[in-house]
Amino acid sequence: MKYIHLYALFLMSVLYASCKQNPKNPPPDIIRSEARDSVSSYGPTRMVRNVKQARNGDILIASYTGVWRYDGKLFTNITSAISSPSFWDVLEDRKGNLWFATRDSGYYLLPSGQTTFQHFTTKQGLAGNYGAIHLYEDKAGNIWFGTVRGAYRYEARLNDSVGQGKSLFAGQAGLRSFTTKDGLPNIDINTIMEDKTGNLWFGTRGALCVYDGKTFTVLKNKDGKPFTNVWGITEDKKGNIWFGDVEGLWRYDGRTYTKVSQKGAYGIIEDKNGNIWTTGADTPQGIGQVWSLSRYDQKTLYNKNPTVIEIKSGGPAFLGLLEAKDGTIWFGSMNGVYRYDGKTFTDFKNAAGQK
């Protein structure tokens, strides 16, 4: 079943430009308007692309009304000082710094312990400010940006102590860009993941590829065709790579690609019990389109036909996935964020949704 037209409704169109590392790029701009909190009893009511968890257990929600922090009782908009309200992703790195990816104004950084934001745009080396889609921290502490114009790596040369309004990074050298000139098969980056061996996996609109630190290798199915429009990638406890493309959900064991399901797989995670969870479309684009939150049972994951349970179906879209520390499952949608505790769904949009 083909889903490429389905995802085209929601995803950025491909733009092309290239940008090489420039050691003379200036440090991030400082947003002098200090971070100020906006508190609500309810969560966002517009698109939520990604849901992450902070080190202290709070839930971080990237939405088209800002990035919200949920402490179990209240929702706090932590990006009220930023003029762009539309966010695609959020990340708290290992040092407690918060990173934000926006739809149309590049990336922002709120250093740990500070109250002013730093801003990454074309001035710092991005090929464009539109389409900052993804954030990822690798094992070395480098921060990766995934955009519609290529991938960028910000090296982990962090200052241990940073004064208010000062750059977080010592020896500012700008961003290292990766485009087709560096071997990327496609510059429209959807997601990035590092596996246990240290290789980086890039899901793009045009192909799935692996980067070993020197070379990008495009992965292809048994028919010699690349896996296209890959948004979700995860590695399970056994080292198998799970990913979704326009044809459904796949598993790769290092030798063989197994098509597990025709269900769409926008978001993919493995929970603490070894089950695989996905969000994605079950039906082609059009009226009556159906999306679902699905769970593949860990006991049958490697069977020819693993057991899949459809936990929730509907729409108009189910997006980024998270298993919180307490075992609850969170996922974004076109109209807010949901939490599933194994029995009950909470949508947080209003008092009725929280019953």
Report percent pLDDT > 90 for the chain. Answer: 73
pLDDT value for 165: 42
- The mean pLDDT value for 135-160 works out to 87
The yes-or-no verdict on residue 60 having pLDDT over 80 is yes
Question: Could you give the CA distance from residue 256 to residue 237 in angstroms, rounded to a whole number?
Answer: 17
Q: Quickly state the pLDDT bin for 28 (edges 50, 70, 90).
A: confident
Residue 355 has a pLDDT of 55
Residue 67: pLDDT band (50, 70, 90) is: very high
pLDDT at 215 over 50: yes
Nearest to 111 by CA among 122, 96, 127: 96
Which of the four pLDDT bands, split at 50, 70 and 90, describes residue 20? very low
Please report, for residues 63, 186, 244, 285, the alpha-carbon distance to residue 14 in angstroms, rounded to integers and kept in the order given. 22, 9, 19, 20
Sheet bearing 257-261, strands edge to edge: 233-235, 241-245, 248-252, 257-261
Secondary structure of 5-41 as H, E, C letters: HHHHCCCCCCCCCCCCCCCCCCCCEEECCCCCCEEEC
Which residues on neighbouring strands pair with residue 98, listed in sequence order?
Answer: 92, 110
The pLDDT score that the predictor gives to residue 285 is 64
Please give the mean pLDDT across all residues of the chain: 86
Q: What angle do CA 207, 199, 270 make, to 5 degrees?
A: 80
Q: Give the DSSP H or E segment for 233.
A: strand 233-235
Q: What is the pLDDT of residue 19?
A: 35
pLDDT at position 92 over 90: yes
Q: Which of 51-60, 254-263, 343-352 has the lowest mean pLDDT?
A: 343-352
Per-residue confidence (pLDDT) for residue 1, from 0 to 100: 44
Confidence check: pLDDT of 182 > 90: yes
Question: CB-based contacts of 179: which residues, under 8 Å, 6+ apart?
Answer: 18, 19, 127, 149, 150, 187
pLDDT digits (tens, 9 = 90+) for 242-293: 999 999 999 999 999 999 999 989 999 999 999 999 999 987 665 567 899 9
pLDDT for 162 equals 42
Distance CA 195, CA 139 (A): 10
Q: If we measure between CA atoms, which residue out of 57, 93, 59, 64 comes closest to residue 79?
A: 64
Is this structure's pTM higher than 0.85? Answer: yes
